[in-house]
């Protein structure tokens, strides 16, 4: 994509009302635009990051046999009355009425709806286990929306739901989702920490949250710091249940609080096994070899739209965002600072087309702007690798490669540029 065609409305000055670094950088880099309190539009640059997250989540869910569906944002109040949550959920639920005075709501979550779907279509134990997921906008009327998309009222979420024949199989599915989440976050380049958590109003006794440790986080977790360097992917269910890591709320209820260190963090995912709480409310039975039984259910959420903000909190400097390669909206940022030099522009155009032909995601700054503006925008946007064509090319046909995370710069002769690019980006020749 050429910068002249790609809409990136960068800002030089920070908005006056921002409190977190990620909010500031997402606004200034043109990733998001606030429409009203706690509600944002995702602009082209921000949406590219969201798409990367969504694509990875979809790929790994599909690989694990989890069926993708799409449930509506607007739900009937009837199913929430069946679960007795319509009046108890709180003011975070946005309640509305249609022209026929039917009570509706903007869904904050989907346990009720997926249970109603399961009851209609799942009749026998032979249909189990069954797992579904969808990616949809949610709305929770936060009393104090703040920190940009980190705590917004409208947000994008991946939520999955499982149906199993009994608790043993439900726990096995829960363990599978636990490991799936570790894999998702790993492949997104996010060093996640799983912690025991309370189930809250969702219900059930088995629950974990997935946190990214950052100094600016609004959550507090307690853990044995040995876990900071641990790989969790090979854990058994019993080991998962006995992880020595806890949310603040859970920590208050445990007896052995020795050798646990407090960290600030950002929650990015939450999984629950709530058993028959909703199948019981909905009088949802299936046929089994032992007669009629209620399915054991679980739910598994990832806050997609807060992931970019969390990663920015984790990885930035005074000049802007530093994207990990897994989440960067582009892999390469090609910068032509001598637009008026025909040879430099011709080289950049040729290189740009060669990069595209190799299916490497590249943004080419072809604007007729001063070099300072191009460099500041490049650092603000934070693409991992900058390739700069400027005075060195005019003098001795050299191109500069600059790594965004440490500003390390090397010069390469024009004949070696593509080989070096492939080496630094990890793409195959």
Phi-psi region of 256 (alpha: psi -120 to 50; beta: other; left: phi over 0): beta
DSSP state string for 310-350: HHHHHSEETTEE---TTT-S-SEEEEES-TT-HHHHHHHHH
Q: Indicate yes or no: pTM above 0.75.
A: yes
- Domain edges within the chain: 21-317, 332-425
Host H or E run for residue 45: helix 44-63
Contact between residue 261 and residue 204 where contact means Cβ atoms under 8 Å apart? no
Nearest to 20 by CA among 311, 417, 294: 311
> What pLDDT does residue 194 have?
96
> What pLDDT does residue 17 have?
84
- Give CA–CA dist 3/383, Å, rounded: 13
Indicate the pLDDT class of residue 392, thresholds 50, 70 and 90.
Answer: confident
> What pLDDT does residue 144 have?
87
| Dihedral sign of CA atoms 87, 89, 91, 96 in order | negative
Nearest to 207 by CA among 165, 166, 177, 168: 177
Please give the CATH topology (third level) of the domain spanning 332-425: Rossmann fold (3.40.50)
Indicate the pLDDT class of residue 254, thresholds 50, 70 and 90.
Answer: confident
pLDDT digits (tens, 9 = 90+) for 203-219: 777 999 999 999 999 99
Nearest to 272 by CA among 169, 162, 364, 366: 162
Q: Is the pLDDT of residue 333 over 90?
A: yes
Lowest-confidence pick of 33-42, 338-347, 376-385: 338-347
- Sort strands 332-336 and 362-365 into parallel, antiparallel or unpaired: parallel
Indicate the pLDDT class of residue 28, thresholds 50, 70 and 90.
Answer: very high
Strands, DSSP E only, in 140-256? Answer: 154-164, 193-196, 206-213, 219-223, 245-247
Indicate the pLDDT class of residue 322, thresholds 50, 70 and 90.
Answer: very high
- Return the CATH number of the domain spanning residue range 21-317: 3.30.930.10
> What pLDDT does residue 429 have?
60
Contact between residue 226 and residue 259 where contact means Cβ atoms under 8 Å apart? no
> What pLDDT does residue 233 have?
83
Contact between residue 379 and residue 319 where contact means Cβ atoms under 8 Å apart? yes
């Amino acid at each position: 994509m050429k910068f002249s065609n790609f809409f990136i409305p960068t800002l030089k000055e920070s908005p006056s009302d921002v409190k977190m670094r990620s909010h500031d950088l997402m606004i200034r880099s043109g990733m998001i635009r606030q429409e009203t309190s706690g509600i944002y539009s995702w602009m082209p640059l921000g949406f590219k990051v969201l798409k990367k997250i969504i694509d990875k989540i979809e790929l790994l869910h599909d690989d694990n046999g989890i069926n993708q569906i799409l449930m509506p944002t607007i739900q009937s109040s009837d199913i929430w009355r069946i679960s007795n949550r319509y009046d108890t959920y709180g003011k975070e639920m946005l309640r509305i009425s249609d022209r026929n005075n039917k009570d509706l709501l903007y869904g904050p979550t989907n346990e009720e709806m997926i249970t109603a779907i399961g009851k209609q279509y799942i009749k026998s134990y032979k249909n189990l286990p069954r797992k579904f997921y969808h990616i949809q906008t949610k709305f929770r009327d936060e009393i104090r929306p703040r920190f940009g998309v980190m705590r917004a009222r409208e947000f994008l979420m991946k939520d999955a739901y499982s149906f199993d024949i009994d608790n043993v199989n439900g726990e096995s599915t829960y363990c599978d989702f636990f490991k799936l989440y570790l894999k998702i976050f790993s492949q997104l380049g996010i060093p996640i920490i799983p912690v025991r958590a309370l189930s809250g109003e969702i219900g059930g006794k088995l629950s974990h949250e997935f946190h990214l440790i950052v100094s600016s986080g609004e959550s507090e977790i307690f853990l044995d710091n040995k876990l900071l360097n641990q790989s969790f992917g090979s854990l058994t269910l019993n080991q998962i249940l006995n992880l020595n890591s806890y949310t603040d709320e859970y920590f208050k209820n445990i007896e052995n609080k020795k050798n646990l260190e407090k960290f600030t963090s950002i929650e990015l995912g939450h999984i629950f096994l709530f058993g028959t709480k909703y199948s019981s409310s909905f009088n949802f039975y299936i046929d089994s070899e032992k007669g009629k039984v209620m399915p054991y259910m679980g739910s598994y959420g990832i806050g997609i739209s807060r992931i970019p903000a969390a990663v920015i909190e984790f990885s930035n400097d005074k000049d802007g965002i530093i994207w990990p390669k897994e989440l960067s909206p582009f892999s390469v940022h090609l910068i032509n600072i001598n637009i008026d030099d025909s040879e430099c522009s011709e080289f950049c155009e040729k290189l740009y087309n060669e990069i595209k032909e190799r299916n490497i995601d590249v943004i080419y700054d072809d604007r007729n702007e001063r070099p300072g503006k191009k460099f500041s925008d490049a650092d603000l946007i934070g693409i991992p690798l900058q390739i700069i064509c400027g005075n060195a090319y005019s003098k001795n046909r050299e191109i500069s490669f600059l790594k965004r995370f440490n500003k390390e710069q090397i010069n390469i002769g024009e004949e070696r540029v593509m080989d070096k690019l492939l080496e630094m980006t990890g793409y195959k020749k």
